[in-house]
Structure 1
């Protein structure tokens, strides 16, 4: 029997702010600095973050992120 597949979720900015405790401006500033996961485009006018990227960042928030827009 194989292991269950990893299920990831897309998080919107309000979810990211709730989970991390960061403010909107801080999230975008850290993305710009390369110290926070980049958002991914999920529609023409929609972006979100992968939950797995946020969880990984939270495990070591002071490390720089090499995440890029997927």
Structure 2
């Protein structure tokens, strides 16, 4: 059986990283954060697994 992915809204991701929505969307336009998934005509979400991988990569770069 396949594990179901967890998705975060932009506001949930902002809360996770302690940034404003404007910062989150600027990071997206600058290529700082992972690319989101379009799940509907007006619904954009980020896979939690993609964000966790990004966190790990950022931690490696910072050290």
TM bucket, shorter chain: 0.7 to 0.9
TM-score (norm 1): 0.69
The 4+ residue runs of structure 1 with deviation greater than 6 A are none
Which of 13, 17, 24 is the equivalent residue of 1:20? 17
Structure 2 stretches lacking a partner, 5+ long: none
TM-score (norm 2): 0.75
* RMSD (Å), alpha carbons: 2.0
Structure 1 stretches lacking a partner, 5+ long: 64-70
Task: Determine the structure 1 residue equivalent to 2:30.
Answer: 33
Task: Determine the structure 1 residue equivalent to 2:51.
Answer: 54
